[in-house]
Amino acid sequence: MNGADVVKGAQLDGLVLLSATSIAEATQQAAGKPGHVVGLLISPTDNSVDCPGDYHWVRCDAFGPPISWSQKDGGDQVTNFDFAGAAISDPATANWTVNQGPMISGSIDDVVVAYSFYADMLVGQGVSII
């Protein structure tokens, strides 16, 4: 799994890739357009623990100021905190490292996964986020 493939799939679903180099630029590009800016995070493949890689989305809830973001990790509740418990002000600088616990059958070793910011996208009208 890689960021380019996830972006391509998201574009096929109707999302628009923003050519932003900062959250300020992304929100400026999206200003006045219906929808929400979302940030795409990617964790790399780690064959040593049979982890194929993953992706995670964060959503810009308000352009602010202040800019506010939220995310939902698996079955957890929606929150405005990153994985370290800090309020998300910019997904590119937030802490996206998470301990997944033991992932290999028979192993007690924990697997730590680190997501990195990949891209901002616009979820416009006609796209449903479930």
* Assigned domain for 26 exists: yes
Distance between CA atoms of residues 108 and 115, nearest Å:
22
Where residue 130 falls among pLDDT bands split at 50, 70, 90? low
* Assigned domain for 115 exists: yes
How confident is the model at residue 129, as a pLDDT?
62
Asked if residue 21 has pLDDT above 90, the reply is no
* Assigned domain for 51 exists: yes
pLDDT tens column, 70-93: 999 888 899 999 999 999 999 999
51 burial (CB, 10 Å; 0-12 / 13-18 / 19+) is middle
* Assigned domain for 96 exists: yes
pTM of the complete model? 0.86
* Assigned domain for 60 exists: yes
Distance between CA atoms of residues 11 and 87, nearest Å:
28
Residue carrying structure tokens 């999302």: 15
In the chain, which residue ranges form alpha helices assigned H by DSSP?
3-12, 23-30
* Assigned domain for 128 exists: no
Q: Which two tokens stand for residue 94?
A: 């937030």
DSSP for residue 46: B
How confident is the model at residue 71, as a pLDDT?
95
User: How many structural domains is the chain composed of?
Assistant: 1
* Assigned domain for 130 exists: no
Q: How many CB atoms lie within 10 A of CB 40?
A: 22
Compute the average pLDDT of residues 89-98.
92
Who wins on pLDDT, 129 or 46? 46
